[in-house]
A = this chain, B = another copy of it.
Amino acid sequence: PLRFKHSERSVVFADLTRDEYVQVQEYMLKQKDLHISTSQLSKPSENFLFLIDLSLPKKAEVLAYLDKNGAPPRREATVVVFYGAKGYIKEYVVGPLPDPTDHRDVTMERYKKSELPITARTVTIGEYALLFQFFETEVMYKLGTLLKESFNVDKDKSLDMFEQMPRGLQSGDRKTWVSFFRDMSGLYIHPVGFEVLVNHKSLNASEWTVEGVYYNGRYFESVEQLKHQYDAGAVDKIRYKESPDYGSLKVRTKPLQTGPQLFYAQGKRYSVSKNHVVYLDWSFAFGLSSLTGMRVFDVKFRDERIIYELSVQEAMSVYGSVTPGMMLTKFLDSSIGIGRFAHELVRGVDCPHEATFVDTYRYIDAPAPIRFRNSICIFEHNMGQPLRRHFADFFHNSFGGMVNSALVFRTITAIGNYDYMWDFIFYQTGAVEAKVHATGYISSSYMVKDAQKHGHQVADKVLGNIHTHFINFKVDLDVQGVKNYFQTKDMNFVNVSVPWKPDRYAMVPQLVENQVKTEKDAALRYNSKIPRYLHIASNKTNRWGHQRSYRLQVYSFAGDHLPESEAEEAAMSWARYKVAITKHKDLEQTSSSLYSQNNMWEPAVDFSKYIEDNENIENEDLVAWVTAGFLHIPHAEDIPNTVTVGNGGGVLLRPHNYFDEDPSIHSADAVYFSPG
C-alpha cells in the first residue's frame, strides 16, 4: 500500500527513450547541409554525431508545469557534433520530442563561444581505431625485437594500452602519453615500463607522429632512436619474466556457506513506475545523464518538494609519478562520460537479490542508442541499526524505537580502471544522503628510480601511485519554495560570570549564527575554517519560530587540491570548495563539461566563474555544489582491487527545524513497549 501516487509529470526529467534517440539521429541526418556521419568508425576528419542526451527544460517552466498546471515544457535533446571537416565542435538543441522539427545552435548560449575547438573533443571509438593502427605500424612493428625480449610480444601476444590525460601542456595540444600494460586481467596494475607520446592533433591520422618514447626509465626522442640504441646495446634492457596473475578476480575459495541476505517478507514498500519512485513518505523522479551520471529531481517528502535536483557532476583525480604518463595525469571523468559507463549491476554483489533493476538507454559515441540492462538498482535496505531508540529505566520504564530501513538508489560506473559506486539514500527522518565509494583497480606505473617518492610498491616492479579523488555533487535544495537563504551555525566559548557566584567566570558554549550574503562569501574553501553547520533555509518558520532549513553535512577525506597557479586548475575549480552556493541559473547546469578534459587550460566551463560575479544570494533560488573525496596512497591491499570500506565521501542533507518534530515518529516501523 503506497502512501503517495506516482506522478505522470516526472517524465519531464526522463532520459530520452530509444525511439526519441532514433528520431533525433534521423532528424540530424536529414540536415544535409551539416554533412553528419553516425558511423562508429567515423574519422576525426568527418562530422561525427557524438552525443544525444536529454536537454533539461528550464526550471521555471518545469515548476509551472508541476505546481501550477502550466503547459508541459517543450521536450528537447542536446546534440553534440564533432565537426572534423570544419575543425570545431557545436552543440544543438533539437525538438520538440517526439518527432523533432527544428534545431538550434546553443554553443554560444551555453559556452560564450560560437564554436568550441575540435581539439577539446573526447577521443571517439573512431579515433581509437586509428590510434591502435598507428601504434601497430609506427611503434610495435618497428620494435619487434625489443617487444619480444622485453615483453614477450609476438603474433599471439600483445600489450594493452592505457592513456593518460590531459593530452599535452597547453590549449590546442592533443599529445597523449600512452602507457603499455601486460595483456592480463587488471591490466592497470601490470605496467611494463614502456610509454609512448603520440601527437594526434591533426584531423588527418596520416600526420600523426610519435614525439617521445619512454623505456625502462629513459627518454628517447623517437621509436627509431630507441630501436637504434637498443640494438646497439646502449639501453638497459627489461628482460621478460612471466608475471603471476595477481590482477585476477577469479574465485580462489569454494563457497562454504552463504552470508546474510535481505528479504521482503511482505513485499516491497516502494514502487518504480517509468522514471518515478515512491517510497513511504518519499517520491522522486530520476535519470541518468551519459556525461554526468545519475540524478534525481523533484524529491518530495510528504508531497512537499525538498530537492529540485540532486546530481553527480564530476569525478576527478590528480596523480603523481616520475613516469611521463602519470606525472601530469588529471582525469575528469565526465568528459569521457560517467553515466556512459553505468553497466549492468550484479545481483547479490552490487545490489541485493531483491532489488528492483532498471534499464537505461544511451546514445554516445555509437551508431544507435544502446540499452544498458539493469544499470540502475533501487532497494530498501535494513541498515542493521536503530534509526532512533530510547530505553528508560528512570521514573518511566519503557522502550521505544525503530530500525533504520532506508531506500537506496544506486548506479556503479566502471570508467577504465576505477568503479565508482554512487548512492542516493532516502531515510525515514526526511534526510537524503549522496555518497560515492571507489573500488576497482588502481592506476599504477613501472618501478623506476625515485618512483617511491610518489607511492608504494604493490607488486613486482609495480608502483601504486599517490592520487586524489574529488567528487562534485549538485544539490539544488528548494526549501519551501525556491526563495532561500544560506546560513551557517557553529559554536564558540564565551566567558560568563556565574550568576550565583558572580566573581567566578566560566567558558560556556554559545550558538553562533550567520546569514551569508554573497556568492563569494558562500564559497567555502577546503583549506579554510568552515562553520560546522551549513543550511539552506527558508524564511518560512516552523512551529517554534525557527527558519525551516536543510543542513548539508559533508564527510570527506580529501587531499590537497591542485594549486591555482596551474593552468589545468581552471577545469576543476569546483574542487577548491567543500561547499559553494550559487544563485540558480539554467545556464549553469553543470560544474564541469564534456570539453574540460581535453582543453583543461581553457575549459568550456570554469566553475569559479559562476561565483566571480558575486551575486547576492539572499532570498534567491540557491544551488549548493558539494565536493567530497579522499587522498589515496595505494598499498598492497589495493591489489587486486581497492575496497569500498573507508574509500568514499558524500553529503547528508538533514532537516533542521524544517519539521516541528522528527517525522519518523509517524513511521509504521516504530516499536514501543512498557511493562504491564
Contact = CB atoms under 8 A, between A and B. Distances in A.
Contacts of A389: 346, 349-350, 412, 419, 421, 439-440, 641
B401 A510 contact: no
14 contacts: A249-B670, A251-B671, A257-B269, A260-B379, A348-B671, A381-B384, A392-B414, A452-B511, A468-B491, A493-B560, A493-B562, A507-B562, A636-B658, A637-B659
B429 A637 contact: yes
A211 B341 CA distance: 71
A639 B658 CA distance: 12
A40 interface: no
A646 B455 CA distance: 33
A631 interface: yes
A39 B354 CA distance: 56
A654 B646 contact: yes
B393 A408 contact: no
B643 A662 contact: yes
Interface in A374-405: 379-396, 398-405
Contact of A566 (B380, B423, B507): B507
Contacts of A672: 249-251
Interface stretch (A8-16, A286-294, A540-548): A540-548
A562 B670 CA distance: 37
A240 interface: no
Interface string A490-515: 11110010111100101111110000
A354 B544 contact: no
A44 interface: no
A402 B384 CA distance: 19
Nearest to A246: B661
A160 B395 contact: yes
Contact of A261 (B263, B379, B501): B263
A494 B219 CA distance: 21
Given A259-B269, A269-B259, A431 B645 contact: yes
Contacts of A414: 390-393
Given A327-B506, A491-B559, A633-B656, 7 more contacts: A160-B394, A251-B670, A257-B668, A328-B498, A401-B641, A457-B545, A507-B566
Contacts of A467: 509
A186 B395 CA distance: 10
A148 interface: no
A164 interface: no
Given A169-B504, A395-B160, A349 B403 contact: yes
Contacts of A264: 259-261
Contacts of A544: 456-459, 636
Interface in A631-676: 631, 633, 635-646, 652, 654-672
Interface in A555-610: 555, 557, 559-560, 562-563, 565-566
A315 interface: no
Given A260-B405, A553-B646, A400 B250 contact: yes
A1 interface: yes
Q: Which one of A197, A430, A631, A665 has the greatest number of beta carbons of chain B within 10 Å?
A: A665
B390 A641 contact: yes
Interface in A529-558: 532-533, 542-546, 553, 555, 557
A637 B652 contact: no
Q: Which of A219, A258, A392, A416: most chain B CB closer than 10 A? A: A392
Nearest to A405: B259
Given A343-B391, A390-B439, A403 B348 contact: yes
Interface string A243-259: 00010111111111111
A233 interface: no
A301 B613 CA distance: 56
A87 interface: no
Interface stretch (A91-99, A223-231, A318-326, A518-526): A318-326
Contacts of A384: 262, 351-352, 379, 381, 383, 408
A671 B347 CA distance: 10
A466 interface: yes
A434 interface: no
Contact of A253 (B393, B489, B667): B667
Contact of A533 (B256, B506, B631): B631
A212 interface: yes
A668 B256 contact: yes
A380 B169 contact: no
4 tightest Cβ-Cβ pairs between the two chains A and B:
A249-B400, A320-B509, A259-B405, A457-B544
Given A259-B669, A395-B183, A668-B254, A643 B429 contact: yes
A351 B671 CA distance: 13
Interface string A411-435: 0101010010101000101110100
